[in-house]
Amino acid sequence: MTKGDLLERDNDLAALEAAFADACAGTGRIVLVSGEAGIGKTSLVESFAARHHDTARVLRGYCDPLLTPLALGPLHDISRSLGTDLAAQIDRGARTSTLFAQLLDTLLAPIRPAILVVEDIHWADEATLDLLKYLGRRLDAARVLLIATYRDDEVQRHDALRLLLGDLATVRIVERLQLARLSRDAVRALARDRAGDTDAIYSQTGGNPFFVTEVIASEASGVPATVRDAVLGRAARLAPGGMAMLDLAAVIGARTEYALLEQFPDIAAAGLPECLALGLLQDTGTGVAFRHELARNAVLEAIDTLRRRALCRDVLAGAIRAGYAEQGYAARLAHYAEGAADAGAVIRYADAAGRTASRVGAHREAVAHFHSVLRFSDGRSTAERATAATNYARECAVVDQLADAIAGYRQAVALWSDLDDPLKHGETLAALAWPLVRHGATAEADTAAAEAIALLEPLGPTRQLAHAYRTQAHLRMLDRDTARAVEIGGKAIAMAGGLGDIPTLAGAEMVVGAARLVSDDAGGRAQLDRCLDLARDNGLDELTALARMNLGSAYGEQYRFAEAEQELLIGLAFTRDHDLDHSGHYMSSWLALTLLFQGRWKEAAERAADLLDQPDLAAISRIMALVALGRIRTRRGDPGAREALDEALTLARSTATLQRLAPVHAARAEMEWFAGDPGAVSAEASAVFDLAAARRHAWHSGEFLYWRSLAGETLSHCDWAAAPYALQIAGNWKAAAGLWRARGCPYEEARALAAGSQTARLRALELFDALGAAPAAASLRRTMRADGRRQVPRGPRASTRNNPFGLTNREMTTLGYLVRGFSNAGIADELFISAKTVDHHVSAILGKLGAASRKDAAEIAVQEGLYAKNGEEPA
C-alpha cells in the first residue's frame, strides 16, 4: 500500500476535508479521531495532512508512552516545528496561561490556516489535556483545524481524558470520527498478490489494518495468530546488526531522534539501512520511528530483562551526552534511568521532571515522578528523603489523593523532627493541616497547625510562621469561628506584610475578610477587596477565584442574595476566562441557592441539575447543588427531595463542618415539615444547632430556631438570631414579612404573611401561587377554610375576574383603595407589596381606564359601577 492510498477511508477523509473547509472560512473546528490500536488513525491524519502541506501550516505534537509522560510533550514538538521558544519558556518557569495564549496567538496569526495534530492523547499528561481544553474553548472563530487522535479502548482507564472528552462534547465545533475495521473485500484487495487464503487473513486479523499489513509483510507461510507474532515474524528476517538497531530503537521509544542516534554510530551504521529497507523503521525527517506502537511493543517485550536494562543504561548515557537534560527532556531521562535501575539518575531526573510537571499543572505526572524519587531514595540522607516525601505529598494533595498526601507529610514530619530542624518541621506540619481538613479530620488539622505555630514562634518572624498563622486562621474561618480567625489571621497579615510575602499576605486578607463577612461585619468587604487587588496585581488567579467564591458564599450565608448574585456572576466570568472549573462549579452551586431564595426556581433548578450532571463535581459543590435542588423539590412538592438531601447529608457529614452541615440540616427540617413529622423537624433543626449557636451564626441559628418553634418546642429567647426569623418566632409576622421583602425573598415573605391577617394571607397565597409553591399554598388554603373564610381564591388560573376594562384582580383591589383615597405608600402597606409595585399597578389602571389622574380613575370606577363611593364592591 502506498501513502495516500487508504482503503475504505473516503468518508473519513471527506469529513476531515469538510471540517478543514469550515476552518478556512473562519470557523475553527476540532475533530477527534478514535479507534483501536492499529486501526489507522495516524495513517488517516498523515494522508489528509499531506494533501494540505502547500495551503496550511501543519503542526504536530505527540504524546509518548513513557512510564510517566513528559509534561506538555506535544507543546515541545509543536514549538520545535514552529521555531518558537515555547518549550524553552517551560523550563524558564513561564506560566502555562502565557504559553497557551502565545500558542493561540500563533494559531490566530492572519497567515495560512493551521492544521494542528495532537497524536495519541490517551497517553497525554494533565497539562496537555488542559491545553486541549483551553484551545477547544477558543477556536470557534479561528482558521484552525485541531485533530486529536486516541485509542477509544484506553479512555476508560484515563479519568482526565474522559473528562476532557466530556467537556469537549459540549463544544459545538467538535466532531468525532470513529474509524472502522476493514471489510473482507478490502482485505482481499490488499492481499491479492499474496499466495494462500486471503479469507484466513481477514478472519485472523478481524480487518485491523496494521495487523493485515504486518501479516502480508511478514511473508510467512501461515497466518500469524497475533499482531505480535506478525511483527516478530517480519523482524526475524533481519540480520544480527539490524536486530540490534531495532532493539535499540524499541528501548529509545516511539521516535528516535537523529541527535540521539548519532550517539550510537556503530549500531546505526550496521543496522539502520536494513531496518529502513524492510520497512520496520521509517524515516520521519527528524529521526526514525516504528511504523506503529504495536510493533515497538512487540519488539520491546521480546528483549530479555537483563539486556533491556543494559540497553536502558546505554540510552541514558547517550541521551545525557546528547544534551537531553538541558532540552527539557528530564522525563525521558527518568524513564531510561528507571529502566536501567540507576537510583542516582532516577532521583536527579525524576525530581527535575516532577518540578517541571508541577509548574505547568501536570500534577498527576508530578505525583508519579516524585513517587519514583521517593522509591529510589532509600539509601539517601534524611534531609533528601524528607524533601522527597514533602514534594510527593504536596502533589498528592493537589490531585486530591488525600490519604497519600497525609502519609507523605507525616513521613516528612517525622524525618524533619529526627533532624531537629524546627523550621522545616513546622513548615511541614502546617502543610499537613490542609489535606487533613479536606479529608474531614478537622481536629487533627487544628492540632497540626497549632504544633507548627508552637515550633515556629520561638524562631521569630519567618515566612513559614506567617503561612502557619494563615493556615490556622483559614481552619478557624471554615469552622465559622470568627473571633479566632480574625485574631490569628491578623498575625499572618502583620508578619507576611513585614516580610513582603505577597501570596501569604493576600491569602490572609482573604481569610480574615471572609470570616468577618460571614459574621455580617462590613469591614470584611474591604479586606477581601485588598486581597483581590493583591491577587490581580501579582497574577494569583486561583486566589482571585477563591476570594470571589468566599464573597459570594459569605453574602449568601447572610441572606444578602442580590449582592451574592452580583459577586458570583463576576467570579463565574473570571473562572470561565481562566479555565478554573472547580471554583466555577462551586460558585455556580451557590448561585443556584441564591436564585432559589430570590424566588427564581426555574433558573435555580436548571443550574443545580446541570451541575449535578458534571462528572467531576467536587463534594463541596455537590452538597450545595443538592441542597438547592432538595429545597426546590420540597417547595414545589416534587418527588426526589429526600434522595437529594440524603446524599447531601452523607457528603456533608464527611466534611464535618458547620458550613456544610447547617444548610443540609436546615433543608431537611423544611422537608420533614412538609412530610408532617414534627419529631423529625426537631431532630434535623437540633442536629448542629449547638455548633451554630456556639459560633453565633445568626442565620443558621435563626432558621433552626424557626423550625424548632414550628415543631412545637418551647425555646428560650434568642435575641441574636437573624431578625426576620426572630420576629417571626415572636409572632411579629408583619415586621418579618417586611424584612423578607426587603431582602428579596418572596417565599420566606409569603411564609411570614401566611401567619398574618386575612389580607396578608391572600397576599401570601398570591405569592405562593406565583412561585409554584403547591404544598405551602394548599396548606394555607386548608387553614383559611378551617378558619371559616368561605371565599378562598382557588388558584392562579381560576381567579381572573371579568370587568369591561380588562383589569386584573390585583389592579381591581388597588382601584378599590384609590376610591377610598389611599396613598401609594398606604396601599403598599395594606397589600404587603412595595410602593414601586403599587406605582406599576396604578399606571396600568390609568392606562386601561383612560384616566388622567388617580382622582379621575376613582371617579370612573364609581361611574362605571365597579365600586361604590365608599370603596365597597357593589353587591
Q: Which residue lies nearer to other proteins by CB, 798 or 852?
A: 798
Q: Which stretch binds other proteins (CB under 8 A): 146-154, 273-281, 628-636, 673-681?
A: 628-636
DSSP 36-81: STTSSHHHHHHHHHHHTTTTSEEEEEE----SSPPTTHHHHHHHHH
Instruction: Assess 499 for contact with other proteins (CB under 8 A).
Output: no
Residues in contact with other proteins, total (CB under 8 A)?
A: 16
Termini Cα distance of the chain: 97
Stretch that binds other proteins, among 29-37, 94-102, 193-201, 627-635 (CB under 8 A): 627-635
User: What is each CA distance from 425 to 78, 216, 343, 414, 513, in whole angstroms?
Assistant: 43, 64, 26, 8, 29
- Select from 20-28, 208-216, 605-613, 834-842 the region that touches other proteins (CB under 8 A): 605-613
Nearer to other proteins, 284 or 800 (CB): 800
**Candidate segments 1-9, 426-434, 626-634, 672-680, binder of other proteins by CB under 8 A:** 626-634
Per CB under 8 A, which region of 246-254, 548-556, 599-607, 744-752 contacts other proteins?
A: 599-607
Q: How far is the CB of 604 from other proteins (least distance, A)?
A: 10
Return the number of the residue (605 or 698) whose C-beta is nearest other proteins.
605
Min dist CB 638 to other proteins, Å, is: 4
CA 177 – CA 578 distance, rounded (Å): 29
**∠581-582-587 over CA atoms, to 5°?**
95
Positive or negative torsion for Cα 344, 349, 350, 351: positive
Instruction: Pull the grid cell for residue 205.
Output: 486479523
Q: Which of 491, 530, 633, 660 binds other proteins (CB under 8 A)?
A: 633
Alpha-carbon torsion angle 4, 7, 9, 13, nearest 10: 20
Contact pick of 154, 314, 400, 638 for other proteins (by CB under 8 A)? 638
Q: Which residue, 83 or 639, has its beta carbon nearer to other proteins?
A: 639
Q: For residues 218 and 621, which CB has a smaller minimum distance to other proteins in the complex? A: 621
| d(C-alpha 358, C-alpha 362), whole Å | 6
How many C-beta neighbours within 10 Å does residue 703 have?
27
Q: Which is nearer to other proteins, 261 or 592 (CB)?
A: 592
How far apart are CB 263 and other proteins at their closest, in Å? 59
Q: Which of 576, 602, 785, 869 binds other proteins (CB under 8 A)?
A: 602
Q: Give the contact letters, 549-588, x = binds to other proteins (CB under 8 A), - = no.
A: ----------------------------------------
Listed in sequence order, the residues at least 6 apart from 355 whose beta carbon sits closer than 8 Å to its beta carbon are: 366, 391
DSSP classification of residue 731: T
Q: Where are the alpha helices (DSSP H) in 502-580?
A: 502-518, 523-537, 541-557, 561-577
Touching other proteins, residues 462-491 (CB under 8 A): none
* Neighbour count for residue 229 (Cβ, 10 Å): 17
Residues 6 or more apart whose CB falls under 8 angstroms from that of 464 comprise 423, 426, 427, 430, 456
Tell me whether residue 407 or residue 774 sits nearer to other proteins (CB atom). 774
By CB under 8 A, name the one of 287, 461, 503, 637 that touches other proteins. 637
CA distances from 567 to 550, 562, 573, 743, 761 (A): 9, 9, 10, 16, 35
Which stretch in 242-250, 308-316, 479-487, 635-643 sits in contact with other proteins by CB under 8 A? 635-643
Considering only residues 110, 500, 639, 676, which one is a binding residue for other proteins as defined by CB under 8 A? 639
Name the DSSP letter for residue 265.
Answer: H
> Which of residues 188, 636, 734, 820 is near other proteins by CB under 8 A?
636
**Minimal distance, residue 121 CB to other proteins, in Å:** 29
Under rule CB under 8 A, residue 166 binds other proteins: no
- CB of 612 vs other proteins, minimal distance in Å: 9
Of residues 673-732, which lie at the interface with other proteins (CB under 8 A)? none
**Which 739-798 positions form the footprint of other proteins (CB under 8 A)?**
774, 797-798
Least distance (Å) between residue 32 CB and other proteins: 23
Q: How far apart are CA 750 and CA 765, in angstroms?
A: 7
Q: Cβ closer to other proteins: 220 or 609? A: 609
**Length of the chain in terms of residues written:** 875
What minimum distance in Å lies between the beta carbon of 668 and other proteins?
A: 18
Among 33, 596, 629, 827, interactor with other proteins by CB under 8 A: 629
Residue of 174, 71, 76, 73 lying closest to 126 (CA atoms):
71
Identify any residues that bridge with 31 across adjacent strands, giving them in sequence order.
Answer: 147, 175
Quick one: which segment of 289-297, 506-514, 637-645, 692-700 binds other proteins (CB under 8 A)?
A: 637-645
Closer residue to other proteins in complex, CB, 600/840: 600
Tell the smallest beta-carbon distance from residue 34 to other proteins (Å).
24
Nearest residue to 714 (alpha-carbon basis) of 677, 761, 682, 675: 682
Query: How many CB atoms sit inside 10 A of residue 440's CB?
Result: 16
Shortest CB 756 distance to other proteins, Å: 27
Closest contact distance (angstroms) between CB of 603 and other proteins is 11
Does 640 participate in binding other proteins (rule CB under 8 A)? Answer: yes
Residue number with CB closer to other proteins (250 or 605): 605
Radius of gyration of the chain (CA): 35
Q: How far is the CB of 584 from other proteins (least distance, A)?
A: 21
Q: How far apart are CA 589 and CA 659, in angstroms?
A: 14
Asked if 309 interacts with other proteins (CB under 8 A), we say no
Complete edge-to-edge strand list for the sheet that includes strand 144-150: 57-62, 114-119, 144-150, 29-34, 174-178
Q: Which is nearer to other proteins, 640 or 821 (CB)?
A: 640
Strand partners, 60: 117
Residue type, 258: Y
Residue 480 or 633 with smaller CB distance to other proteins:
633
Of residues 84 and 779, the one with the C-beta less far from other proteins: 779
Residue 605 as a binder of other proteins (CB under 8 A): the answer is yes
C-alpha cell at 3: 501513502
Q: How far is the CB of 777 from other proteins (least distance, A)?
A: 11
- Interior/surface letters 636-669, b for 16+ CB within 10 angstroms, e for the rest: beeeebeebbebbbebbeebebbbbbbbbbbbbb
Cβ within 8 Å of residue 799, ≥6 positions away: 793, 809
**Cell reading at 264:** 550510537
Contact window for other proteins (CB under 8 A) among 225-233, 571-579, 600-608, 739-747: 600-608
Query: Residue 272 burial by CB count (10 A; 0-12/13-18/19+): exposed, middle or buried?
Result: buried
- 114 three-class SS: strand
When the beta carbons of 545 and 644 are compared against other proteins, the nearer one is 644
Span from 603-611, 652-660, 810-818, 840-848 in contact with other proteins (CB under 8 A): 603-611
- Nearer residue to other proteins within complex by CB, 74 or 630: 630
Instruction: List the one residue out of 596, 653, 594, 591 whose CA is nearest residue 619.
Output: 653
Give the span between the Cα atoms of 120 and 297, in whole angstroms.
Answer: 15
- Of 187 and 667, the one with the shorter C-beta distance to other proteins is 667
Least distance between other proteins and beta carbon 774 (Å): 6
Contact residues for other proteins (CB under 8 A)? 602, 605-606, 608-609, 629, 632-633, 636-640, 774, 797-798
